[in-house]
């Protein structure tokens, strides 16, 4: 039994890409496409979630993800509460479950959760009553499923069919929840080849079992790919000796204009942000003609609107929003 689905096989929670069907992922992409025009209207509102209360519970710092979740909820006319964890009772020792019980008592409908512990959103989904939904906004090293779906949406905008695509994911594969969700999504949607490119120290053991091909040399891994997905490198990896220095990392794994000569002529460049210019990507590439990094941010609003509408049972209404 998949805890994310209700008895009809529809989304009840959105906790991870692993285990979801291709049909469900395509439904999310189609619903997001139907909601995109809302973001370009003079009045950026739909009544789909009017009367619903959504709580953003971010136990880790976030600007881009939290803001786009908040915008998405407000564009669906939901009431939104951004919970300040540092000023909450959790800083006084309150357990996660006690916090959840108290927020439930305020008649909330959905919790959007980011947590540094893998599995925290699953734990919450197991303990909330049936009328409450949980959406994972990133948990530990486990998954970041809404980021992966906005990435898939952006790829489909530019490339259409996934079945002919070679995709390269480059950077800290070992610690990246984004990479895990991207790999699950790409393999489920039928991408022809998914490559991961990183130093030996940042490749998890057994990752080939996820259906990917491993490269340790960037130039070889980029050969003829259609999509280049960069990952952010955290400076703590240098301090923990997993990488020698920012300068050396950029020398061997930084994406430059010269290296783009290896990719397919129509390839696009992606990054989940925030980017480290001169560490994982050259500024001229981040701002260049192939870059779709800012489109990813824009698309994140529509994709999160779609997911929130679907888990609260309003996805099918959202598909008719062109006429709203």
| Residue 274 assigned ligand-binding role | yes
Q: Which domains does the chain have, with CATH numbers?
A: 22-143+298-313 (3.40.50.1370), 145-292 (3.40.50.1370)
What per-residue confidence (pLDDT) applies to 85? 75
Q: Which of 10, 64, 141, 277 is catalytic?
A: 64
Q: Give me the pLDDT at residue 16, please.
A: 98
Query: From CA 19, how far away is CA 184, in angstroms rounded?
Result: 9
Structure confidence at residue 125 (pLDDT): 96
Tell me whether residue 64 is annotated as binding. Answer: yes
The pLDDT value recorded for residue 90 is 65
pLDDT in tens, the chain (324 residues): 899 999 999 999 999 999 999 999 999 999 999 999 998 999 999 999 999 999 999 998 888 999 999 999 999 999 999 987 766 666 667 788 888 888 888 899 999 999 999 999 999 999 999 999 999 999 999 999 999 999 999 999 999 999 999 999 999 999 999 999 999 999 999 999 999 999 999 999 999 999 999 999 999 999 999 999 999 988 767 667 677 788 889 999 999 999 999 999 999 999 999 999 999 999 999 999 999 999 999 999 999 999 999 999 876 554 444 433
Would residue 92 show up in a list of annotated catalytic residues for this protein?
yes
Is 232 annotated as ligand-binding?
A: yes
Question: Does residue 107 contact residue 52 with C-beta atoms inside 8 Å?
Answer: no
Question: Greatest CA separation found in the chain?
Answer: 57
- State pTM to two decimals: 0.93
Cα 28 to Cα 30: distance, rounded to the nearest angstrom: 6
> Which one is catalytic: 12, 13, 52, 65?
65
Q: Phi and psi for 50 in degrees, rounded to 5?
A: -60, 135
Residue 65 falls in the annotated catalytic set? yes
Question: Which among 114, 156, 175, 271 is annotated as catalytic?
Answer: 114
206 belongs to an annotated ligand binding site: no
Q: What number of other Cβ atoms are within 10 A of residue 136's Cβ? A: 30
114 is catalytic: yes
**In the numeric block, which tokens belong to residue 87?**
């000023």
Tell me which of 13, 52, 144, 175 is the catalytic residue: 144
Q: Helix (H) and strand (E) counts for the chain?
A: 12, 9
4 carries a ligand binding annotation: no
Q: Where are the beta strands (DSSP E) in 24-65?
A: 53-58
Contacts with 269 (C-beta within 8 Å, 6 or more apart), sequence order: 228, 230, 255, 260, 281, 285, 286, 288, 290, 291, 292, 293
Dihedral (CA of 14, 298, 309, 316) sign: negative
């Amino acid at each position: 039994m998949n805890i994310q689905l209700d008895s009809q096989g529809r989304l009840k929670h959105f906790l991870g890409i692993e285990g979801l069907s291709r049909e469900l992922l395509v439904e999310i992409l189609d619903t997001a496409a139907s909601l995109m025009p809302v973001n370009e209207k003079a009045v950026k509102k739909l009544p789909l979630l009017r009367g619903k209360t959504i709580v953003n519970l971010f136990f880790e710092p976030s600007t881009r993800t939290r803001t786009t979740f908040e915008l998405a909820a407000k564009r669906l006319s939901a009431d939104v509460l951004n919970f300040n964890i540092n000023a909450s009772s959790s800083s006084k020792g309150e357990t996660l479950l006690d916090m959840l019980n108290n927020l439930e008592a305020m008649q909330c409908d959905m919790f959007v959760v980011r947590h540094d512990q893998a599995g925290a959103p699953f734990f919450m989904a197991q303990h909330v009553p049936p009328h409450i939904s949980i959406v994972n906004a990133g948990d530990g090293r486990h998954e970041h499923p809404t980021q992966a779906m906005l990435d898939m949406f952006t790829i489909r905008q530019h490339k259409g069919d996934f079945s002919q695509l070679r995709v390269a994911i480059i950077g800290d594969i070992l610690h990246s929840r984004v990479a895990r969700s991207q790999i699950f999504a790409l393999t489920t949607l039928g991408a022809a080849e998914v490559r991961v490119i990183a130093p030996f120290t940042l490749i998890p053991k057994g990752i080939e079992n996820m259906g990917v091909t491993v490269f340790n040399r960037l130039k070889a891994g980029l050969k003829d790919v259609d999509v280049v997905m960069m990952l952010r490198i955290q400076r703590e990896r240098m301090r923990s000796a997993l990488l020698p220095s920012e300068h050396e990392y950029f020398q061997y794994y930084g994406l430059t204009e010269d290296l783009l000569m290896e990719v397919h002529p129509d390839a696009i460049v992606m990054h989940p942000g925030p980017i480290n210019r001169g560490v994982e990507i050259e500024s001229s590439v981040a701002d260049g003609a192939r870059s779709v990094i800012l489109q990813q941010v824009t698309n994140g609003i529509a994709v999160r609107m779609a997911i929130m509408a679907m888990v609260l049972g309003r996805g099918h209404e959202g598909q008719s929003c062109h006429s709203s």
